[in-house]
Amino acid sequence: MGSEIVANVVEMGFDPKFIKKVIRRQIRDHSTCFATTDALLDALVTEENDLIDLGSSSSSDDDEEAEIPVEPEDFYEAREHFDEDELHPSEQESQGAEANRSSDEHSTPEAQVADENHRAAELSPEEERRVQSELRRLRDEKRCKVCLDRDAEMVFIPCGHLSTCLICTQSLRQCPVCRMKINRSYRTFPS
């Protein structure tokens, strides 16, 4: 975990144990590591969203991560530190995952569509205006604070504000929200 890619992601505020977990999964599943910060960020955000959707994170994975004896200097050396069992999930785990996936597939899409159609039919004109204004407010919040044309996609370090598009960021030296000096900026990707 000593590479620049990991250091960049840690600087953004991600938990090192969580990063290690995502890297281990990448090595286990694909026998390769992340080549860019964007690839690692995408995997971290996806994993984080999956955990939020499930409603809880598994504490047993955290315990296993703490047992890694050495933090590798290079991602490709990381495979040397994992047991063969960790790289290949057991048949019971994969069968359990398939069973969960198949039960989710049968109940989710049709029930959600029916529920959304039922809710949409119940909106009064006043409530519809309120929803429209809320939607407009959220779109404005997401918009670049400098040009007001494109979506904001750049996060500033150290303040952490997400307020400008890529093009406008190139001409800034201070955050437009708090006027703090920008040390670095990172592009974000909506999920």
Q: Which CATH architecture has domain 139-191?
A: 2-Layer Sandwich (3.30)
- What proportion of the chain, given as a percentage, has pLDDT over 70? 62
Q: What is the pLDDT of residues 88-101, one digit of tens each?
A: 444 444 455 454 44
Which residues of the chain form CATH 3.30.40.10? Answer: 139-191
Q: Which two tokens stand for residue 165?
A: 């598009």
Q: How far is CA 80 from CA 19, 43, 86, 127, in A?
A: 18, 22, 12, 59
CA atoms within 13 A on the CB side of 97: 6
Residue 61 has pLDDT above 50, yes or no: no
pLDDT band at 155 (very low <50, low <70, confident <90, very high): very high
pLDDT score at 145 = 87
Rounded mean pLDDT, 103-130: 65
Q: How far does Cα 60 stand from its chain's mean position?
A: 21
pLDDT score at 124 = 82
CA atoms within 13 A on the CB side of 123: 12
| Model confidence, pTM | 0.34
Q: What is the pLDDT of residues 11-22, one digit of tens each?
A: 887 888 888 888
Q: Which two tokens stand for residue 119?
A: 């809710």
- What proportion of the chain, given as a percentage, has pLDDT over 90? 5
Q: pLDDT higher for 86 or 9?
A: 9
Q: Which two tokens stand for residue 99?
A: 């069973």
Residue 171 has pLDDT above 70, yes or no: yes
